[in-house]
Amino acid sequence: MAQRRPRAATEEKRKRILDAAEALMLTDRYAAVSSPSVAAAVGIQAPLVHYYFSTLDDLFVAVLQRRAGRNVERMAEVFDSPEPLLTWWREVSDPRGTALFVELLAAANHRPALKAEVGDMARRVRATQMDRLSTLLGEYGIDAEEVPPALFAAAMQGLAFGVVQDQAAGYDTHADDAAAAMERLLIRLEEHRRALLRR
C-alpha cells in the first residue's frame, strides 16, 4: 500500500519548528533549544513540538539532516564552479552555515543519535571532497603526494571552522586577518590554475 504524503500544513509546521530551532542555536546556542523555547518561538503549545518530533534528539537530527542534504549537494556544485577552491572557501567560511554546524557539533557531544548523524554527514562530505581533489589539485600545480587531498580538505575545513568559531565568539585571535589572507591565497591559486589550463 502506498504511503500517504504528509499534509502541507504538517510540513509547514515542521518547517517552522526546524527554523525556530536553528534560530535559537544561532542566537542563544544549542542549550537554549527546548520544547518550551521552540514552541514559544513558533507560537504553539510545547507538547505539539513532540507531536512533530518525538524527542529533542529527533529535532536536532532533523535540523542536521535538512542542512546536510544541502551541504552534500552544494559540495558537488562547488567543485564544478569556475573557481572551485575559492568557491569552496567562501562556502565553508560563511558565518551562518558554519556557526550552525558548530552548535550542532557541540550538541552532538551530549546526544549520541546526533553524533552518529554528524559522523555520517562528515564522511559523505569528505568522500566528495577527496574524490574531486584527487584530480583537481593537479590543475593548480599542487603535488598530491606532497599535499594529499586529505590534508588539503582538513586544512580548508579546519581553518574555516576555527575562523568562524572565533569570529562568532568575539575572540581576539586575528581570525579576520586569517580569513582575508586565505582569500588572497586562493585568488592567486585560481589565477595560477587558469594560466595552467590555458597552456
The average confidence (pLDDT) of the chain is 89
**What is the H or E stretch that residue 114 is in?**
helix 112-139
pLDDT, residue 73, reads 79
CA triple 130-68-70, angle to 5 deg: 90
Cell of 73: 549537494
* Burial class, 143, CB count within 10 angstroms (exposed 0-12 / middle 13-18 / buried 19+): exposed
**Nearest by Cα to 186 from 86, 91, 87:** 86
pLDDT, residue 1, reads 44
Q: How far is CA 146 from CA 94, 130, 141, 181, in A?
A: 28, 15, 11, 22
pTM: 0.78
CB 69 within 8 A of CB 123: no
Cell of 40: 514559544
pLDDT, residue 34, reads 93
Read off the pLDDT of each residue in 123-134 and give the average, rounded to a whole number: 91
Please name the residues in contact with 197: beta carbons below 8 A apart, sequence gap of 6 or more: 139
